[in-house]
């Protein structure tokens, strides 16, 4: 991966999944491609995503799948329909990494890791002639319209490709490469960019010192989280600063926006989602005898200490004595969220290039020959395979757009 002379037909800037799939599609079509990345190796966030099992996509019906993209559905649907979950699975299998469907419907490589997949992918790109310029930081364009880069040694280089694909990611986990520096560059060119915000993130809670010290790092298992009429089953993790976890991430966009509007949001946690209200009231209506309230709740409802103390956090140290009030609390523990976790700790980024700035081929209307894909666009989706699927599909769509742009030339 030595730095070649930077005069490609197509420049791809960004070595995440969107950039890599764009480079693969373009080089496979016979176009000379150079991929630039500011980091020493490509795919660093992709590798991070695979540490707990690489969730590539989801197996649910496509119509349901597309609904996960909210207001961006209409724009992203053609790209995802052209490169759907089945195509992504076939692509992985072609790299020697077959996939399987987990019990939740999520799709993972059989190896459950991103390293073998990324290694095979980079080998394919090299065999197709893709050139890599690593430790090259994109600075924008010069007065002649050429791409500007700063190398690791501080020297500046320029390149004049026939087309450019921007796949620079958002601004979450900046130490892995995506730092959002492109926002200022594109804004200066008149491109509308929605503010970058945390997505699929945790939230700050004002825990008491006693609760924080005792329960940070412990999970709330088999709970149901509700906000604004939507309920998600799963787990949450108590942290020193607040709450994390898949069920929290699924509600993150609504919670984040509510905090931005009202200054806070109240998340309700059902500690007993498999029990009816009537069943809870009956169990809690039995005589408590000499048992402490904590022991009574443990025996009557099977609640662990973290759940019982979460109830105390919500209402103070004294829990209600009334069986009805106690049952209602167990079914909807109110947790006041103060703020989303900082963007650099979020799994993904909301905001980015306004979708109205792009045509149907993912080309920037104000910058002919410049295409954009991946997380730097203004869309968001929950975890569960939707993030990577959208990233892959948009990168492939941008590559098709480049082909259409270059064909008449």
Per residue in 342-372, pLDDT (tens digit) is: 999 999 999 999 999 999 999 999 999 999 9
Whether 292 and 385 map to the same domain: the answer is no
pLDDT at 1: 46
Q: Evaluate whether residue 5 is within a structural domain.
A: no
Q: Pick from 296, 314, 340: which residue ends a domain?
A: 340
Whether 374 and 333 map to the same domain: the answer is no
| Orientation of helix 17-28 relative to helix 386-406, angle to 10° | 40
pLDDT digits (tens, 9 = 90+) for 261-293: 999 999 999 999 999 999 999 999 998 888 899
Whether 61 and 165 map to the same domain: the answer is yes
Confidence of residue 409 (pLDDT cuts 50, 70, 90): low
Q: Count the alpha carbons within 13 Å of 87 in the hemisphere toward its beta carbon.
A: 14
Whether 377 and 330 map to the same domain: the answer is no
Q: Evaluate whether residue 123 is within a structural domain.
A: yes
Whether 191 and 303 map to the same domain: the answer is no
- Does residue 300 carry a pLDDT above 90? yes
| Contact between 351 and 253 (Cβ < 8 Å) | no
Query: Could you give the CA distance from residue 122 to residue 112 in angstroms, rounded to a whole number?
Result: 18
Q: How far from each other are the two terminal CA atoms of the chain, in whole angstroms? A: 30
State pTM to two decimals: 0.91
Q: Pick from 340, 367, 395: which residue ends a domain?
A: 340
* For residues 204-232, average pLDDT: 96
Q: Evaluate whether residue 1 is within a structural domain.
A: no
Whether 232 and 167 map to the same domain: the answer is no
Whether 124 and 146 map to the same domain: the answer is yes
Whether 264 and 300 map to the same domain: the answer is yes
The residue whose two tokens read 């995503």 is 49
Q: Tokens in use for 148?
A: 């500007």
Domain count along the chain: 2
- Give whole-number Cα distances, 135 to 35, 37, 158, 233, in Å: 11, 6, 14, 43
Closest C-alpha to 225, from 198, 211, 205, 245: 245
Whether 23 and 133 map to the same domain: the answer is yes
Whether 155 and 49 map to the same domain: the answer is yes
- Does residue 8 carry a pLDDT above 60? no
pLDDT at 6: 44
Cβ atoms within 10 Å of 321's Cβ, excluding its own: 10
| Orientation of helix 323-331 relative to helix 293-301, angle to 10° | 70
pLDDT at 370: 98
Q: Evaluate whether residue 2 is within a structural domain.
A: no
Q: Pick from 315, 340, 365: which residue ends a domain?
A: 340
| Contact between 40 and 135 (Cβ < 8 Å) | yes
Confidence of residue 2 (pLDDT cuts 50, 70, 90): very low
Whether 320 and 385 map to the same domain: the answer is no
Query: Could you give the CA distance from residue 257 to residue 324 in angstroms, rounded to a whole number?
Result: 33
Q: Evaluate whether residue 62 is within a structural domain.
A: yes
Q: Across the chain, what does the average pLDDT equal?
A: 94
Q: Evaluate whether residue 4 is within a structural domain.
A: no
Write out the residue range of the structural domain in which residue 315 sits: 203-340
Whether 268 and 321 map to the same domain: the answer is yes
The domain that holds 80 is classified in CATH as 3.50.50.60
Exposure b/e, 371-398, CB count within 10 A at least 16 = b:
bbbbbbbbbbbbbbbbbbbbbbbbbbbb
């Amino acid at each position: 991966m030595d730095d070649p002379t930077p005069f490609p037909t197509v420049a791809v800037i960004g070595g995440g999944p969107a950039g890599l799939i764009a480079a693969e599609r373009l080089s496979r079509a016979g176009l000379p491609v150079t991929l630039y990345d500011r980091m020493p190796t490509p795919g660093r966030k992709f590798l991070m995503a695979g540490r707990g099992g690489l969730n590539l996509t989801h197996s649910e019906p496509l119509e349901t799948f597309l609904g996960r993209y909210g207001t961006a559905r209409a724009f992203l649907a053609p790209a995802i329909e052209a490169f759907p979950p089945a195509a992504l699975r076939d692509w992985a299998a072609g790299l020697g990494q077959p996939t399987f469907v987990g019990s939740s419907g999520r799709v993972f490589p059989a190896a459950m890791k991103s390293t073998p997949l990324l290694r095979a992918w980079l080998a394919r790109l090299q065999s197709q002639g893709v050139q890599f310029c690593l430790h090259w930081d994109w600075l924008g364009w010069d007065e002649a319209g050429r791409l500007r880069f700063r190398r690791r040694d501080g020297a500046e280089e320029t390149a004049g490709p026939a087309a450019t694909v921007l796949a620079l990611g958002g601004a979450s986990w900046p130490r892995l490469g995506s730092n959002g520096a492109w926002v200022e560059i594109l804004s200066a060119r008149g491109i509308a960019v929605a503010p970058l915000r945390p997505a699929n993130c945790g939230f700050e809670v004002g825990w008491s010192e006693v609760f924080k010290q005792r329960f940070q790092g412990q999970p709330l298992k088999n709970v149901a989280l509700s906000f604004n009429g939507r309920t998600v089953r799963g787990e949450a993790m108590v942290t020193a600063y607040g709450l994390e976890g898949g069920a929290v991430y699924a509600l993150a966009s609504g919670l984040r926006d509510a905090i931005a509007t009202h200054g806070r949001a109240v998340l309700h946690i059902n500690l007993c989602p498999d029990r009816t209200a009537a069943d809870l009231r009956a169990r809690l209506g039995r005589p408590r005898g000499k048992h402490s309230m904590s022991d009574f709740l443990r025996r009557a409802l099977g609640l662990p200490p973290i759940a019982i103390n979460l109830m105390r956090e919500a209402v103070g140290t004294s829990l209600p004595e009334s069986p009805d009030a106690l049952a209602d609390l167990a079914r909807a523990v109110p947790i006041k969220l103060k703020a989303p976790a900082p963007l650099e700790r979020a799994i993904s980024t909301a905001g980015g290039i306004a979708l109205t700035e792009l045509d149907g081929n993912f080309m920037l209307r104000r910058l002919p020959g410049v295409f954009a894909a991946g997380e730097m666009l203004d869309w968001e989706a929950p975890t569960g395979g939707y993030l990577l699927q959208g990233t892959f599909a948009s990168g492939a769509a941008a590559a098709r757009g480049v082909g259409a742009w270059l064909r008449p030339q």
